Each structure stands twice: as C-alpha cells, then as structure tokens.
Amino acid sequence: MLNLPNYDDQSFEAIMEAAKRRIPVLYPQWTDMNEHDPGITILELFAWLKEMQQFYLNRITIRGYENMLALLGTTVGEPAAAQAYLVFPEGASQGSLPQGMRFETSANIIFESRDSVTFNKAGLKSIYVYDGRTFRDVQDLLREPGIYCQAFGQNPLEGESSLYIGVDQWEEEREFSLFLLFDDHYPVARNPFQNNSRAPREIVWEFGAGSTGQIAYKPLEILADETHAFAQTGKVVFRLPAGAAEFTPAEGLPRLYWLRARLARKGCEENPRLQNIYQDPIAVLQQQTLCETLSFTWLEKGEAELELDTWLSLQGRLMVFVRDKLGWRLHNEVITYKQTEENTAILRLKLRALPQELALDGAENIKVLCYEEDFASSMVLAVSSGLPGQRFSLPNQDTLLRELLSVMVKEETDEGQKCWSEWNYVADLAKAGPYDRCFSYDPVNQEIVFGDNEQGAVPQAGENNIIVTRCVITKGSIGNIPSQNFKPLNYSAIANPLPASGGKDAEQLNEALERIKASLKKIEKAVTASDYETLAAATPGHRIMGVKAIPYYDPDSRSVGDKQAPATVTVVVLPYSEEPFPLPDESLLQAVREQLEAYRLITTNVKVISPLYVKISVYIEVSIEYGQEESSETVIRAAIERFFEGIRKGIPTGKPEFGQPVRESMLARKIEHLPGVVQVKRVALAVRNNDSYKDNYGDVIIPPQALPALGDLQIRLIV
C-alpha cells in the first residue's frame, strides 16, 4: 500500500513562530513583534492562508478521485430510467400507439413507450397445454392472479408436449408479439443471460399451415425471444408468414389459427410454470422527454413533405431546421396538419420554399425540434457573453439524463452568415480539445457548462443563440414501482404484470469507490478450486444448485486410490431441478465448459462431469417407549430421509456436500432425540459401489464427485 505524505504538518502557531524567528535575520530594525504591530497582522494573514493551503493540499479532491477512477477504466455511474412492460386487457387494444406515448401511474409518475406499437387485429382466443397425451384448456386458469400451470404438463415428453395458442385472425407478414409471464419463485436463482448464452431447453415455435384439408406444422420466424426458451418472463416476437390455415388440433378444440411452442429438448432444470400470456406488450421507460429532435434526409429541392408519429410531435410544439452548405438554419415556411389512418395519428409537415443551397449530400438535412409548451421558456438559454466557462441554468425537479442532452448554438461563419451548429455532451470537459464543440452538465447546480477555448470551445456572443434540442428527465430509483399500478388509458384498464426495475439514481463517489473495490475481487483467472467453483456456479442462463472442484482428480484415470492426475481439475455440476436426483444434460455440461475455458490456465486440463449418486443401505435398531411403535417408525424414517436429502441439497448451508462420508454416528445423532426414542441400539451401513467402501469404523466413504442417496432402510423397534 502507498504511504501518502502528510502536507498538513504545521499549525497556525507553528507557522507564526517560524516567521517571527526569521525577522531578526531579514530585517534587524523590526523590533516590535506584538500583535498590535501591522507587520505582525500581515504575517498572521499569510500564516492563515498557508495553513488553509496545506489543509487542502493534504486532501484528495473529488475531481482527483474521479481522475483516478478514470485510470482504472470506470466513471461515476449515471442515473438510469426504470423499465417495465404494459399490457391491455384482452380485446381492449386497437390501432397503434406512437413512440413516446405517455402513461401515468397512480402516484403521477410518467412512463413513455420505448417504441411505436401497432396492435394486431388478431385476438388471443384459446390456450391449451398438450402433455403428449391429452389437451388441457388453461386460458381461464391463467386469468386467475397468482395461479400457474405447467407450460408442457406435469410429465412433459420431448418432441410431443406443446403449448397451443389460438388466434382468430392471421395478418400475413406482420410482427406478432406475446408477453409470457412465468413464476420464478425457486430456491435457486437463475444466472443472468448473456450474449450467446445456452438456453436450458429447446423450444420450437410452429404454426398450422395447409391446403386441401391437409394440415402440417411449419416453423415460425422468431425475431426475438426474451424468455430464452421459457426460462424467464419476457417477450417473444414472430413474423407471421403466409399459408396459415384455420383448423382444429384435436377433437373438441375450437377452429382457429394455431401457434404452438413444442418442447424439442426438455433439459435438466425446472418444468416452466406459466402464469399468463398477454398480446402486444408495450415496453416503457420511466422518463419524460421535454424536447427531442427528429432528423430526416430529403433528396429534392423546392418542397418537402414529412410524416411525424412520435407522441411529442403530435402533442407538442415544433421548430424546423434545414441544412445548407454553411450549417443549419431556422425554416419558418411550414404547414402542419394531422391525419388519422386506421386509428393511427400522423402529423404531416409540408416545408415550402426550401433554400436553393439545401445540402443534398445524402446526410441529414432536415431537423424537426419537438418540445413541450411548458419547456419553451427553459429551452432557449440566456444571452451568450462569448467568455470562457459560461454556465446556463437548466433547472428541473427530477434527474436529467445527461447523456441524452444536446444543444445547438448559433454562430457566425467565416462567410459572415449566422448558422446553427450542433454541440455534443461530454462527461468531462478536461478531455476535450480547444476547438471541440461540446459542453458538460453540472447536476449539483443544474447548469450547462461550456469550455474555455483550451478544454472545449467557447460559444460566440449573441442573444438567445443557444437552444436545447434534446432533454429527458427521470425519477431514477423512484420509478421502480410495483406491479398493477397504472391509471386507465382512454377508459381501458392497463397494467404492468411485473414491477418496474432498473431505475437508478446518479451514483455517489463513495459508491463508485466501493464498486471499484469490489470489482478488484472479480476472478479474472481460475487458479484455486474456489475460483473454479465460483465461475462454474455463475454460468450464464442456468440455475446451478451446487458445484465441486476437485484438483488433481481425473474420473477417467485408470489409477487406483485417489486417482492423482497432475494439472487436472474436475468440476462436478449439480443443476437445480424439481426431480429428487437431478443430473445435468450435455448442454449444461458444455455451457460450464465454455464458461471455464475463458478462465482456466493454459496448462490446466478441466473436466466437467455429472454427480454420482451412491445408494447406501441403512439398518437401525432403536429402543422406544411403549405404545409408540407406529408413530416412532414413521418419525424415524422421515428423519433419515431428511438427513440424506439435506446432504444432497446442502441444507442448511446451501451447498451440496459432495464426497461427504456417511457416518453411523451422524445418523444416530439425528434420531436419538426424536419423540418416543429411548436409545439408539445399533446403526449399520452398507454400500454396493465399486468406488465406495466401508472403513474400519463402519462409515461409508464415497468418491469425491458423489452424493449419498438412501437405499434400503430397515428399522427394528425394541419396546
């Protein structure tokens, strides 16, 4: 650790004493050194200044900490808007919603739609689960809050079990989206998915197509699957192809257009619990766009006709800029009118008398600035003085998303013309050059800050020559609202099935420092057995209940004894499953191998294997109280079963105890205090496994990758 020097090592009194001692040397005629002397007063003033400078010199400033964080490759975190999905009740959605459409919660918190949404005419009419043997209607069940069904039945069959979804219309070559809500209350959390993560199971989406009465299922084009094959709640987006046919999948089912999700590979993890299916979900962000800029490229002179369909363009006010060879100019020859086509509102702009010098270079040459009427007074900043370090107030009660902030500045070109130019936001002006058109934002004082011609350019002097072209605010962590919390829209109920999440306030410096300290503990290379266990347990997209890394062990070695193998690590993986004795499938083993491959030392051979379950037979003689025979046997049997289950599931530690010997004394302690038990007379264990054996004490020693399982259990009760 670095030892920082102490610069604040003199008090005010010490500084004054040292200065007074120098007076006879420098100026012998000065003999009055009392406090009333003006010279002493001046010395006291400078002594105070020196003490203050030493105080600040001895401390690291906030800017200093931020610079050191930058050297470590990180910065103080920016605020973030919460995200959620909204759904309409069945049959209530129609037409389309513009991008930026606003929704309001019961607490008056505003959310905006991330994209424009066009609702499908098709209605979701039937939902059936086919377990490979029978069909079961689950639509009414899924409408009950808090109730779920197994998406592929209680005992799904690979290649057969399917989820059938029936719709009453089929719009060819249109996107069709569903929001699938799954129950996720499991004792083991799923690791977050990453790019190219392996899904825990394989699901094939198909649709019924045919002609001349022959129906066949064909694959659907999947544009996005946020559920990762029913592993988590999310949206699935398809493109509906041509050739779909109305039919009945089985006797008694309605005649509809049918989609189905067929279970091609079951996997080794939980059986998905489906809670609900919604059509046409709306992705929303907890933010409020006060102004935005829409850019266009127009390739003709004379007139331009544009279509705007964002919520702010339809509800707010507009300013139009066009670009010529010198820069952007305000254009006032604009005619606007609204149209409604198939329940979709569109704002049409007709730009007349475009300048002859309109830039036709293929780049953006028209900008439409849309803004709230209430923001008009704040959008145009005050007079620019042309001096370095100008600051302009941009106050707001909520948090401003700095990275989305942009401005334009009117400047005089070399030809003497006044044109607008775009200036970009930077987090730190110290990183900008003297000619960079950029600005920063001070969130503490809520001010836009410009440079000084050394670190960022200075805007030219002018009146009302700086205008904000994009400004978005959010409430940060306050936007993480619970589910079912939105006001009705156009007399239609609207809900968020899941709580909003992801909203963050601006990170404080101390939080950033703690985060960087924690990141230093992140495993970059697997060296120890603990490193391998930590990395394997974090395999993206999977629920892993237990991992055991065994150094110098090769299960495929022909050596006897401990199977010592140099430069070899064997990793045992136990997935979470509702099965009593879960085993990983090859897909999970391969996912763990790929995870460890990026971290292993080049000289280390890594093997990933399944656990081995070793059945152990138990014989017990117990002395019990008179009249307790029946109840005592039941209690003893349950206690022994819990004992073996606790080792496999890691109760209460949470980590399965691979290779843990099963001792007679451990079993005796588990039952000697049970109700009705007087004394444990005898415990005997037996095992039939080539790699397991009983030692001299009667305990069963199992391989390091094994977990014990209860085999035959015999209980003899002695009254």
pTM: 0.85
Question: 534 by DSSP, 3-state: which?
Answer: helix
Q: Show me where the domains of the chain are located.
A: 12-59, 120-279, 292-474, 529-609, 612-718
**What pLDDT shows up at residue 584?**
96
pLDDT, tens only, 351-405: 998 988 899 988 999 999 999 999 998 899 878 899 999 999 998 889 999 999 9
- Give the class (CATH, top level) of 529-609: alpha beta
* Mean pLDDT of the residues in the chain: 90
What average pLDDT score do residues 458-473 get? Answer: 93
From residue 344, alpha-carbon distances to 75, 85, 178, 341, 680 in Å are 43, 21, 21, 5, 79
* pLDDT of 481 over the 80 cut: yes
Q: Where are the beta strands (DSSP E) in 533-674?
A: 544-553, 564-575, 605-609, 612-624
Phi, psi of 274 (to 5 degrees): -85, 125
pLDDT band at 638 (very low <50, low <70, confident <90, very high): very high
| pLDDT computed for residue 220 by the predictor | 94
Indicate the DSSP class of residue 115: S
Q: Is the pLDDT of residue 521 over 90?
A: no
- Predicted local distance difference test score (pLDDT) of residue 458: 94
Q: 506: buried, middle or exposed (CB in 10 Å: 19+, 13-18, 0-12)?
A: middle
What gap in Å lies between CA 231 and CA 225, rounded to an integer?
Answer: 10
In 27-132, which ranges are continuous DSSP H helix? 38-57, 62-71
What are the tens digits of pLDDT across the range 386-398?
A: 999 999 999 888 9
* pLDDT classification of 212: cutoffs 50, 70, 90: low
C-beta separation of 506 from 80 below 8 A: no
Measured CA to CA, the distance from residue 649 to residue 185 in angstroms comes to 17
Q: Which band of pLDDT confidence, cut at 50, 70 and 90, is reported for residue 677?
A: confident
Rounded to an integer, what distance in angstroms lies between the CA atom of residue 133 and that of residue 161?
8
Say what the pLDDT of residue 123 is.
86
For β-strands 124-130 and 162-167, DSSP reports them as antiparallel
Mean pLDDT of 339-343: 75
Helix (H, G, I), strand (E, B) or coil at 5: coil
Q: How large a percentage of the chain has pLDDT more than 90?
A: 62
